[in-house]
Structure 1
Amino acid sequence: MAEKVYVVGVGMSKFIKPRGEIDYPEFGLEAAVKALNDANLTYDKVEFAACGYVYGDSTAGQRVLYQLGMTQIPIINVNNNCSTGSTALLQARNAVASGSVECAMALGFERMARGSLSSAFTDRTNPLDHVNMVMAGPPAAQIFGNAGVGYIEKYGATPRHLAKIAEKNHRHSSLNPYSQFRDVYTLEQIEQSPKVFGPLTKLQCCPTSDGAGCAIVANEAFIKRHGLWDQAVEIVAQIMATDSPKMLSTDAIEWAGADMSRRAAEQAYKKAGITANDVQVVELHDCFSANELLTYDALGLTAPGKAHTLIDSGNNTYGGKYVVNPSGGLISKGHPLGATGLAQCSELVWQARNWAGERQVPNVKYALQHNVGLGGAVVVSIYKKASDKSTQPLVGYNPAIEARPITQADYDKAKSAKRAEFLEAKL
């Protein structure tokens, strides 16, 4: 029987505009140190690590984690497009669930180039070659823009519904200290910002970003031994899915991965023994406002074809049935590809612990995460706090509402004792 798996520590850096001033080892170290400090653990306790990034050379994960110690644990490097961070979390969770380790780390980081996403390899087949040939253009904005147009034409939504999603997420991000953007915009400002593709405007599209996120996962025996039960958040279900043949059709909605999201969500609810109605808070992959619209359907948050009614009713924000993207989502928080899934995890863990301050969703029992990458892969995760007891941060401040940089003391607390012994012997 598989072990139950819990998130016991999370941490992330601020998401920032790519400038090249900070390199990926620094981003990754910050997130890892914060996650270890959150759980009051040293790196020696980590028995397995999965490191996710999309842009970078092989074994970049080792380069980051060797800063904490060369403890000879297995470290794997993951690239699964925009779902990379959640894929790393899935790998860490599976390592614990299998019983092969008691404690594992999932780390995601990215240092991106400025401007729109583009293929790094132009001399070989693109994984999305079918869609590109049908669409006659590979940029992500066209894929999701066409999906938005498809939903509008098929179900009667309007471009204003897309703008309303962006307005909500920008408004939410004003309360998130980790967000790349914290400005609040009116609907008119969003609609009048520069056009990108179809109904999508600039303020409805996620930016390229640099940053990192990290999660520490463990089994019950480890949690009890280290006194972490009150802050542990169970991953009650986690399902990965890939594309169905619908992606090969001419239905633009399916190009954006709707069917794989639908399958993963259905299986996750079944595994958790709940329905969408039992969820209070959702971190959803809104790389473009159009993707949030069609994913409401795919996750079962609304009846098929009725996503725009969820928006009109206010049931996707505070005071409604669900709060979707309290962090600000990818549109406003930012989207460093390898880090996104772990930033979503961090937000939902903070929400489950009731640490989120002004952006706290009331009475969180179940939290839902959706992280998708074209090509394709999607991970849907459902979280629930392990204990009904309230808990206070172990780091002396609340990391959910204050994005502090790490200090030397933070690093010293997290690093491997073996690293210190090695350096002393070397000196």
Structure 2
Amino acid sequence: MSSKVYVIGVGMTKFEKPGRREGWDYPDMAREAGTAALHDAGIAYDTVQEVYAGYVYGDSTSGQRAVYELGLTGVPVVNVNNNCSTGSTALWLAARAVRGAADCVLAIGFEKMAPGSLSETYADRALPLGRHIRELERLRGPGRPMAPWMFAEAGREHMERYGTTAEQFARIAVKNHRHSVNNPYAQFQREFSLDEVLASPGIVAPLTRLQCSPTSDGSAAAVLASESFVDRHGLAGRAVEIVGQAMVTDFEDTFDGTAAALVGAHMSRAAARAVYEQAGLGPQDLSVIELHDCFATNELLTYEALGLCGEGEGGKLVDAGDTTYGGRWVVNPSGGLISKGHPLGATGLAQCAELTWQLRGTAGARQVPAAAEHTGVALAHNIGLGGAAVVTAYRPADR
């Protein structure tokens, strides 16, 4: 049994507006990302012993159909669906496999999405988020569309409790769009001013369109390996160790009477604390963070859940510039979900790819200098409502 797990190869496609690449189906996406990850690791697909394939929208063996583009070797392929945290859940399962009996495992996520806001797929059965929605309606009154409404209400609650402003939320979107200019994989690569973000069409106050993640097509993948595999193949100079990882689901206090809890704040906090304890690290040790900014309001809530600041102090981090280049941390150098895009099954693995490049010092114009230094540590945060939160800490193997 391996006590250590390493990321030895990553790959991803450019995230695209749904349908923009004509004829680009999910097997094509998975082939592109998976091939890139295998090439990055310097291995062939027949070296992989298990595969965890994540997607939210698709039929039951879409994972097999996708990875058959890489080869037909008879290895176990496990289909994974955990809402927006699907990619990180596939990564979590792959890491557990390496800590068990496997030496080399592939985690891959992909999504082919319909344009527009997410909607209910099955009208003839219980809605998975039904309990969360009913509770939020009781607390805050009804609203739609569902996802932006839920996160907007959590933001409005924060404004009422702590004096956070609509402009502070908008500045998060300004930051992430600015970061994405240097990311060739991002769906959007355009900088927007604060006035442009605030003036973009309103979705659910305080959120405007440019503060919301888009629907996206795309794929991302990571190859994970044991310590003995890394040693045998001389990969320590490129490998990135997973030094802490936790997945949690909803607790009783998800329904504690706050909108923040209903959109995952307590799950995120619990997962982060578990990872800090495992890794012997704290927020002060982090250099770079990729977190789940499905909406600008959630990025600010997550600052607090990850312990970057005290409760109610997220707006102060924004005003101080502490979450961008030159600040205490760089959060979402990729552009985050807001600007990089959000193909649900791929998002968590795209975070892994970005942080691997950052820690290797190969992120190009978006490189965070401190991440490539000897003390560089990275953190990823990915959530799915209904619910699951996955937090992962990374550090290069040779440090």
Q: How does the TM-score come out when normalised to structure 2? A: 0.95
Question: Does structure 2 retain, via aligned residues, the 8 Å contact 1:130–1:248?
Answer: no
Give the alignment partner of residue 82 of structure 1, picking from 61, 81, 84. Answer: 84
Give the alignment partner of residue 65 of structure 2, picking from 63, 67, 91. Answer: 63
1:20-35 equivalent positions in 2, closer than 5 A? 21-35=23-37
Q: For each residue in 1:80-123, what CA deviation from the matched residue of structure 2 results, as whole angstroms up to 9, or x when unmatched?
A: 0000000000011100011x110000000000001100121111
Q: For each residue in 1:47-77, what CA deviation from the matched residue of structure 2 results, as whole angstroms up to 9, or x when unmatched?
A: 0110000000011111111122211111100
Q: For each residue in 1:302-349, what CA deviation from the matched residue of structure 2 results, as whole angstroms up to 9, or x when unmatched?
A: 111101111111110000000000000000000000000000000000
1:245-284 equivalent positions in 2, closer than 5 A? 245-284=252-291
Instruction: Find the counterpart in structure 1 of residue 326 from structure 2.
Output: 319
* Equivalent-residue separation in structure 2 for 1:212 and 1:69 (angstroms): 17
Alignment of 1:117 with 2:118, yes or no, is yes
- How far residue 133 of structure 1 moved from its aligned partner, in angstroms, is 2.0
* Equivalent-residue separation in structure 1 for 2:329 and 2:47 (angstroms): 36
* Equivalent-residue separation in structure 2 for 1:68 and 1:291 (angstroms): 36
Question: Does structure 2 retain, via aligned residues, the 8 Å contact 1:240–1:264?
Answer: yes
The AA in structure 2 aligned to 1:190 is V
Instruction: Find the counterpart in structure 2 of residue 397 from structure 1.
Output: none
Question: Does structure 1 retain, via aligned residues, the 8 Å contact 2:171–2:194?
Answer: yes
1:12-411 equivalent positions in 2, closer than 5 A? 12-19=12-19, 21-98=23-100, 100-134=101-135, 135=137, 136-137=142-143, 139-364=146-371, 365-388=376-399
4+ runs deviating over 6 angstroms = none
* Equivalent-residue separation in structure 2 for 1:224 and 1:245 (angstroms): 44
- Show structure 2 runs of 5+ residues with no match: none
Question: Does structure 1 retain, via aligned residues, the 8 Å contact 2:7–2:222?
Answer: yes
- How far residue 155 of structure 1 moved from its aligned partner, in angstroms, is 1.2
Instruction: Find the counterpart in structure 2 of residue 407 from structure 1.
Output: none
- How far residue 227 of structure 1 moved from its aligned partner, in angstroms, is 1.8
Question: Does structure 2 retain, via aligned residues, the 8 Å contact 1:367–1:382?
Answer: yes
- How far residue 247 of structure 1 moved from its aligned partner, in angstroms, is 2.1
Q: How does the TM-score come out when normalised to structure 1? A: 0.89
The AA in structure 1 aligned to 2:394 is Y
- Show structure 1 runs of 5+ residues with no match: 389-427
CA RMSD of aligned residues (A): 1.0
- How far residue 362 of structure 1 moved from its aligned partner, in angstroms, is 1.2
The AA in structure 2 aligned to 1:106 is A
**What is the count of residue pairs matched by the alignment?**
387
Question: Does structure 1 retain, via aligned residues, the 8 Å contact 2:132–2:386?
Answer: no
